[in-house]
Amino acid sequence: MNSIRHSGIGMTSERTRARMVERLREQGIRDMAVLAAMAQVPRHLFVSEALAIRAYEDTALPIGLGQTISQPYSVARMLEVLRDGREMQRVLEVGSGCGYQAAVLSRIAREVYSVERISTLLGQARRTIRELRLSNIKLKHGDGNAGLAEFAPFDGIVLAAAAAVPPSALLAQLADGGRMVLPRGVGENQFMVLIERQGDSYQEQVLEMVHFVPLLPGVA
């Protein structure tokens, strides 16, 4: 394992990562487990070498094929809402992308299942996850709208792409008492939404404006 590559140097160093975490605190992130996870995961490994020096800026970055790695604040905020101070057991992520959010999730949940529709991105994510030896993540190729029924129920579900409406299959895979966090809306009109399941009813809360790539059907 290349310790220099993992810890980073210069603009990819642990000191730079610590500054990112301090900025997240200043932006209102309070969950210490989420902040610690963000401090532990080397974001620069999940982007191209050309973009590595920008890895700890609070911005989304391109990862190819029209997809992006979400800005650090968005990841931290969504996971803080998802966790809500609870110990999380089994979590589903829809939209693995480069694998960064799954890596952060692996630090705060016992089991992480992540589904990605684009096989090329999934291959890249698998290589980085393997390099980091994160053994509690299972990455799957599939349509995120369908979820992963064979591993349900999940006490947390988080979407890394915006849906016009919450996919019914995902709602069905949410455990009683579970929480789903997703960007909801189309184009520029998107909001982060929290959905909580209580028996057969679902309570929805709109949180803040966001901007994500759209959740697309099928596989590629």
**Cα Rg of the chain, angstroms:** 16
46, 5 contact by CB (below 8 A):
no
Segment 74-96, tens digit of pLDDT: 999 999 999 999 999 999 999 99
The Cα–Cα gap between 55 and 69 comes to 10
The whole-number pLDDT of residue 3 equals 56
- Return the pLDDT at 13: 76
The reply to whether 70 belongs to the active site is yes
Q: Sketch out the chain's domains with CATH numbers.
A: 59-209 (3.40.50.150)
Cβ–Cβ < 8 Å for 54, 61: yes
DSSP string, 138-157: EEEES-GGG--GGG--EEEE
Below-70 pLDDT ranges, the chain: 1-12
- What is the pLDDT, as a whole number, of residue 212? 92
pLDDT at 7: 58
Residue of 3, 13, 48, 70 marked catalytic:
70
Q: How far apart are CA 199 and CA 178, in angstroms?
A: 10
Residue 168, beta-bridge partner list: none
Q: How far apart are the first and last CA of the chain?
A: 31
Cβ-contact 128, 63 below 8 angstroms: no
- CA dist 39 and 23 (Å) reads 12
Residue the block writes with tokens 């700890």? 56
Residue showing tokens 């016009």? 164
Q: Return the pLDDT at 4.
A: 47
pLDDT at 14: 83
Nearest Cα residue to 28 out of 77, 78, 72, 101: 77
